[in-house]
Amino acid sequence: MADAVCGEKVGFIGGGNMAFAIASGLLKKGVLQAEQIYVSATNLDNLQKRWSPLGVTHTTVNNEEVLLNAKIVFICVKPQVLPKITGQLRVAMEKDYENTQSTLFVSILAGVTLERLEKDLNLKSHSIVRAMPNTPMQVGVGCTVFSRVDTSSLTDSRYNDVKLMFGALGLAYEVPEGQINAVTGLAGCGPAYVYQFIEALADGGVKQGVPRAMALQLAAQTVMGAAKTVLDTGKHPGVLKDEVCSQGGATIHGVHALEQGSMRGTVMNAVERATKRAEELS
């Protein structure tokens, strides 16, 4: 095996978009090597087609196979599938308790609490971490918050590996569990809001005569540049906005149009509704 930052084998139960984003980001950063990764899903053909370009060969429809091979296991299924998955995992852990007792589970299921995970998996709290990442992790600029029940009893080395993985893929914060649903509405769902804005900004350029491909590139670069300016300068977005808006200029007229459309209120409403939906999933 080639050198990797994390030496543990890592499993993904569920091979969908979020699992793929995490794994591909970790591979690009060199935190993991492909041979360390085990992933399971219900459709093996689709799983292999998607994951084999990453070099991942340990693909299966058997969740137990992932559990028995990996020491850090990400649960990346839909919340409604959780009871079936946890039932399978409990049976597997009972069959091979000695091999699985030190496994660390990391759930990325929206709205599913640590208390429910602990109950469904029949595990001690120190074996479970609840996390909310977002898909830009696949390009190394994600956002993740995570919580655990008991910070004193969790195996430090494996927990530190999880923190290392999330930190390698962007911003990562350990937070009280009560904040995770709000962060879901903000950062977990946020990329979708931004993609809509990029699309709308490009459409506006096309309407004014800019070629489609160029408009999309300019819109995406503009959003990326503005975000980096906020992060690098530490200035409040309102201050940076004022620096662009000259008296009677084009920008302030555009900002006025956004205010007329209640853009800020609409975005705030989107975060609120997504947060409430995450709470409902609990």
- Binding-site residue set for NADP(+): 13-18
Residue 71: both structure tokens together: 């020491």
Q: Is the dihedral of CA 69, 70, 73, 74 positive or negative?
A: negative
E-strand ranges in the chain read 10-13, 37-40, 58-60, 72-75, 104-107, 128-132, 142-148, 170-174
| Cα 262 from chain centre | 28
Residue whose token pair is 């919340």: 79
Binding annotation: 13-18, 63
Cβ neighbors of 85 (< 8 A, separation 6 or more) are 13, 63, 75, 77
Q: Are strands 10-13 and 37-40 parallel, antiparallel or unpaired?
A: parallel
Q: Which of 103, 110, 164, 109 lies closest to 128 in space, CA to CA?
A: 103
Q: Could you tell me which residues are annotated as the binding site for NADPH?
A: 63
What are the respective helix, strand and coil percentages of the chain, to the nearest 5? 60, 15, 25
What is the spatial distance between Cα 4 and Cα 31, in angstroms, rounded to a whole number?
5
